[in-house]
C-alpha cells in the first residue's frame, strides 16, 4: 500500500472473489487498482454534497456498522 492510501475490507462470496482474482490476473491488472477504479466511478455517479457541518461528523473508518448499512 502506498503512503497516503487507506485500506478497506470487502466481503464477497468465494466464487466472486476467485473470478475477480482470475480475470485481473489474466488481464495483468492489480485487484486493488481495479477496485479503486470501480469505487471512484461509482462515487462519480452517486456522490452527494454534504454541508461543511456534516463533513466533520462523518463516521470514523473503524466505527462499527452493520453490513446492511454499507452499499
Q: Calculate the average pLDDT of the chain.
A: 85
CB-neighbour burial class of residue 47 (10 A; exposed 0-12, middle 13-18, buried 19+):
exposed
The tally of CA atoms less than 13 A away on the side-chain side of residue 54 is 4
Greater pLDDT, 2 or 22:
22
What band does 30 get if pLDDT is binned at 50, 70 and 90?
very high
Calculate mean pLDDT across residues 35-43.
96
Amino acid at each position: 500500500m502506498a503512503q497516503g492510501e487507506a485500506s478497506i475490507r470487502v466481503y464477497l462470496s468465494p466464487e466472486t472473489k476467485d473470478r475477480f482474482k482470475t480475470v485481473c490476473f489474466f488481464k495483468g491488472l492489480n485487484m486493488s487498482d481495479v477496485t479503486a477504479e470501480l469505487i471512484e466511478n461509482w462515487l462519480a455517479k452517486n456522490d452527494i454534497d454534504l454541508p461543511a457541518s456534516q463533513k466533520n461528523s462523518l463516521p470514523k473508518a473503524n466505527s462499527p456498522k452493520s453490513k446492511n448499512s454499507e452499499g
